[in-house]
Structure 1
Amino acid sequence: MRSPQVIYLDAVGTLFGVRGSVGEQYAKVAADFGVRLDADLINRSFYHSFQSAPRIAFPDLPQSDIPIAEYQWWRSLAQQTFNQTGDLIKFANFEAFFKQLYAYFATAAPWFVYEDVQIALDTWRQQGITIGVLSNFDSRVYKVIAALGLKHYFESITISTESGAAKPESLIFEAALAKHQLERSPDLAWHIGDSFSEDYEGANTIGITAFWLNRDRRPTKNLAQQAARTIHLLTDLQQKGSNSHQ
């Protein structure tokens, strides 16, 4: 396997994660509005709502309208989350709460960077490899990456809301490749992410060398996952070379 010219990385779950849980962070902001929440209940409801929601992408939407669409997508998700738990009625002004919540997740406060990330990024940069972000995220990711001190590592950031397509769709991978003139040479790129279907299978479909980042060492569910190039830390690629199949 040849060394890559470009390495693309997923954002949430790969570069950084939520401190504690989404439910804990929601409860923290709700407390500012005098609302007490069961963080575990909110967390379960959030992931149920998130998994059933359409992926966050807005095909054919003008770029100028994307920030509003992003806000409305997340507001709808939050409202469904609180409807399911019966907590929506506790908010005297849900719009004011959500506005603060949305802004909060654009800061460093609710996030943490995984310990292996900067070691891996430093090594790849020293090797002269170009690094990009490729994520099903909204435009707040630019602020988050900067706030977490990671901005200088990345030469491109490709997100679903601006691409009009979300992983595992080929279009978002093609958009990322185009930023580095690799449309006709996807084999010169790697993609690493924590979602088997969105990251690993999506990248493999168009010829990008993919690695499934299984941080939690979740058991494989099928033969496809068993056969995947799997790593548990980003630094596994440097310690073991490209033969990271496990």
Structure 2
Amino acid sequence: MSLLSRLRCVTIDVTGTLIAYKGDLGDYYCMAAKSVGLPCPNYKRMHEGFKSAYTDMAKQYPCFGHAAKMPNIVWWRSCVKDSFVRAGYDYDEETFEKVFRRIYSVFGSAAPYTIFPDSKPFLIWAREQGLTVGIVSNAEYRYQDVILPSFGLNQGSEWDFGVFSGLEGVEKPDPRIYQIALERAGNIAPEEVLHIGDSIRKDYMPAKALGMHALLLDRFKTREAESWKQTGAPVLPDLETAQAWLTAENSSDGTFLSSSQDGHISSSL
């Protein structure tokens, strides 16, 4: 019996799983600065400044300020301002507002992202198998309303429901976000759901803790993937091989056949 035959729903992460960032953060911050006649900021300092500013902002106002009822643009304005300051660029308010508006606009569009070629075919295939498809993402509303649709990933045709941390007020790895997904899928049992993501901490472990099936994608051949496999987690290179994994018959000892890095089916995990 294949795992597919036992499922009613598939939930899936977005960034690193369906789409990916293209270029560096510094590329977009540089373009924003140049648009108002400023020199490009230092890429390394900008990256480190953003990383620390984002971490602190997410800790103080989690889920993009959901609990504080902070408007999305206000949350990001504060985060971006702090990013520049930490990187050593303290612009006057008028200049910063022009830079920020460019950055906010760009990251609310498809421009900084690319879609993996197997993403849309996999979602369509899953729905054709009779599965309910849900999106579970630590993202704000623009992923749902703008970014996913800009890549032709639309609610009602490629996916059925979404659970976005900025709209729900809870984020991965909190298992409650997966509980919301189960409810939104029709209060189905966790063992009838597979979650696919790219983080063992945010995707695999909390989904498994609820009793869901879980699968990790290693699209970029990361060093961490070897340690993921050592935990017993199924780790596959892409959604095309995930489709084969889902339809493969289980072996005599109860484990499933999975796909190796070269795309062939092999006994595993």
Q: Name the TM-score class by shorter chain.
A: 0.7 to 0.9
Determine whether 1:32 maps to 2:35. yes
4+ residue runs over 4 A deviation: 57-61, 221-225
User: Does 1:84 find its partner at 2:86?
Assistant: yes
Call closer, same or farther: CA 1:221–1:16 in 2, change over 3 Å: closer
RMSD after superposition: 2.5
**Structure 2: 5+ residue stretches without partners:** 247-255, 259-267
Q: Is 1:17 the counterpart of 2:17 in the alignment?
A: no
How far did 1:180 drift?
A: 1.2
2:222 counterpart SS class: coil
What CA distance in whole angstroms lies between the structure 1 residues aligned with 2:65 and 2:257?
37
Go from structure 1 to structure 2 and tell me whether the alpha carbon gap of 1:44 and 1:216 turns closer, same or farther (over 3 Å shift): farther
Q: 1:25 to 1:95 in 2, by over 3 A?
A: same
Segments of structure 1 that go 5 or more residues without pairing to the other structure are none
Distance in 2, Cα, partners of 1:26 & 1:93: 13
Q: Which structure has the bigger radius of gyration?
A: 2
Q: Distance in 2 between matches of 1:91 and 1:23?
A: 21
Q: Distance in 1 between matches of 2:238 and 2:177?
A: 24
Conserved 8 A contact 1:24-1:40: no
User: Take 1:214 and 1:221, find their aligned partners in 2: how far apart are those partners?
Assistant: 7
| Aligned mate of 2:115, from 81, 90, 113 | 113
Instruction: Kindly indicate whether residue 3 of structure 2 is the aligned counterpart of residue 2 of structure 1.
Output: yes
Q: Give me the whole-angstrom Cα distance separating, in 2, the residues matched to 1:74 and 1:60.
A: 15
The separation in 1 between residues aligned to 2:24 and 2:87, in whole angstroms, is 16
1:124 alignment partner AA? A
* Aligned residue identity for 1:190: L
Partner of 1:99: 101
For residue 63 of structure 2, the aligned residue among 48, 56, 59 is 56
Which deviates more from structure 2 when the two are superposed, residues 133-142 or residues 71-80? 71-80
Number of the residue aligned with 2:74: 72
After TM superposition, the score normalised by the length of structure 1 is: 0.86
Matching residue of 2:175: 170
Alignment of 1:131-150 (within 5 A): 131-141=133-143, 142-150=145-153
* Equivalent in the alignment of 2:235: 230
CA offsets, 1:32-78, max 9 Å, x none? 122222334423432344345424255655xxx46x0x323322322
Contact persistence 1:24–1:43 (CA under 8 A) = no
Give yes or no for contact 1:191–1:200 (8 Å, CA) kept in 2.
Answer: yes
SS in 1 for 2:14: coil
CA distance in 1, matches of 2:73, 2:227: 39
- TM-score of the aligned structures, taking structure 2 as reference length: 0.79
